[in-house]
Amino acid sequence: MSTTTYDYVIVGAGTAGCVLAARLTENPGTQVVLLEAGGNGGPQEMASPDPLASFSLWGSSVDWAYSTTAQAGTGGAVHSWPRGKVLGGSSAINGMVHHRGHPAGYDAWEAQGATGWNHRELLPFFRRSETAEGRDPQVRGTDGPMRIETPPEPSALAKAAFRAAVESGHKPLEDGNGGESEGVSWRETNVVAGQRQSAADAYLRPVLDRPNLRVVTGALVRRLLMDGTHCRGVEFSAGGEVHSALSERETVLAAGTIGSPHLLMLSGIGPADHLRETGIGVVADLPGVGGNLHDHVTSYVVYSTQEQPRPGGHGAEAQVLARSSSDVAPDLLFLFVEAELQPRWTGAGPGGYSILFSLMDPASRGTLRLRSGDPAVAPLLDPAYLSDERDLERLTAALRIARELGRTDALGPRGTAELHPGPAVQDGDACRAYLRATASTYFHPVGTCRIGTDDLAVVDPGLRVRSTTGLRVADASVMPSLVSAPTNATVLAIAERAAHLMAAPAHA
């Protein structure tokens, strides 16, 4: 077994890991190793600017290919959870969306005990992550690694969708990531010069020649190396051999909502009773590890149309951030897609368009639990979709709003028929049955190592794992609750702030 020592050991080269590796090695005296279970690259579709090309990457060599347990709230369905297994992680196989969501979602974190994690405190790190030319520099970045280009010219159908939203009373926004976020805007994407821009493309690949950075691909981390409650580093397998990477300062888990809690529990950090049941010795009894698992839940309305589908490639898409009722923060996101989406992401075809809608602040909470003490065995993932009836009621409101958009003067004449749910689905029971039969993931699981100060929190506001030393988590798992947007832009900001905290430990 080979053993090498660094200042920082980072587990996972997804969005967060790429940010951390790039920022921490800006100091030439800081030695960092970044461990990634996947490879350096993969299928050609990974460079495609078309979000629908992501379908072809599921189940490929760059996908962990997770799936949930059978979900009672969605008719017993098992949902595929693709997650990137490659440099760049899920940012290399996702829909390339760059969206922050409404400030209220971040302020809710602080209200739940994540002291200092509000929108005002995170804004500088959003700005640090991006370059958005022509936008308001008070809220948008001017020199960050992620380049946000002006959305391409929208098609006639996309323009009609934007007009439909305005016709329905949604405020038109010049910048959906600007000073205002509630309303209709053109969706921003991580696409540069006609190619996908993953976090690895933006942050990691430009700095791979730094002598103080080592990146190891094909490295499956098996366990944390614990000296009592102090983390000394990790044990990982690569090239058919077992190795150790030790950290002089800290080990940072950036393995995501699934990988980070999985590794904690494999190493004896988690709910004590569950660990004992799995035959794992308890190092630290942290009952919140693997709890609080939740995800955006989505469904859709689909219309047939006689209009020509847009050519392949990426085009501008209109999105709407709205409220299910007047007494809540914006909690519904609508996206107009120029394709006939098939049930539960089983495909998309021409000849129709879809209004996708998602519940962005679900109340339902589930768990991640070990299936085995073997690190190669995937954990049990139970997001408990629609287990809280409030989620179903808010999705019912979203269905109503989506249909209103489809009936506007701007869009109505373009759809020749409502294919899903169809004109027969009208009353409350029928709508709820349709939603349970079609609701699915929006690919944004979070929360399994949440920030807080209560007994169920996993990391403190400095992202340090409670009841341990030398160990932090910095990825989507630390989010106490979801924000009203896809999560990649948020994870960039979390990781930027984590790097800042680690560079200034006296203030962490």
86 is in an annotated binding site: yes
Q: If pLDDT is split at 50, 70 and 90, which confidence band does 508 have?
A: very low
Q: Cis ω on the peptide bond leading into residue 28 (within 30° of 0)?
A: no
| Integer angstrom CA distances of residue 470 from 130, 210, 366, 463 | 30, 24, 28, 11
End-to-end CA distance of the chain: 34
Q: What is the mean pLDDT of residues 420-433?
A: 97
Active site residue 444: yes
95 is in an annotated binding site: yes
Burial of residue 167 (CB within 10 Å: 0-12, 13-18, 19+) is middle
- Between residues 150 and 257, the one the model is more confident about: 257
Give residue 50's pLDDT.
78
Is the pLDDT reported for residue 507 higher than 70? no
Is the pLDDT reported for residue 349 higher than 90? no
* Model confidence pLDDT, tens digit, residues 35-51: 999 999 888 778 777 77
* Model confidence pLDDT, tens digit, residues 204-244: 999 999 999 999 999 999 999 999 999 999 999 999 999 99
- Indicate which residue of 102, 230, 444, 500 is catalytic: 444
Write down the mean pLDDT value for the chain: 95
The reply to whether the predicted model has a pTM over 0.85 is yes
Gap between the Cα atoms of 359 and 342, Å rounded:
19
Instruction: Name the nearest CA neighbour of 19 among 460, 508, 449, 500.
Output: 500
Give residue 197's pLDDT.
95
In the chain, where the domains are located: 1-129+198-295+367-384+445-508, 152-186+297-359+387-438
Instruction: Name the nearest CA neighbour of 294 among 370, 394, 361.
Output: 361
* Model confidence pLDDT, tens digit, residues 298-334: 999 999 998 876 655 557 899 999 999 999 999 999 9
Buried b (16+ CB within 10 A) or exposed e, 2-14: eeeebbbbbbbbb
221 is in an annotated binding site: yes
On whether the 1-129+198-295+367-384+445-508 domain is CATH 3.30.465.10, my answer is no
Radius of gyration for the chain, computed over Cα atoms and rounded to the nearest angstrom: 22
Gap between the Cα atoms of 28 and 75, Å rounded:
54
Contact between 219 and 35 (Cβ < 8 Å): yes
Give residue 506's pLDDT.
45
Give residue 228's pLDDT.
98
- Between residues 202 and 307, the one the model is more confident about: 202
Is the pLDDT reported for residue 12 higher than 90? yes
Overall fold of domain 152-186+297-359+387-438: Cholesterol Oxidase; domain 2 (3.30.410)
User: Where do we find the tokens 């960092």?
Assistant: 32
Is the pLDDT reported for residue 264 higher than 60? yes
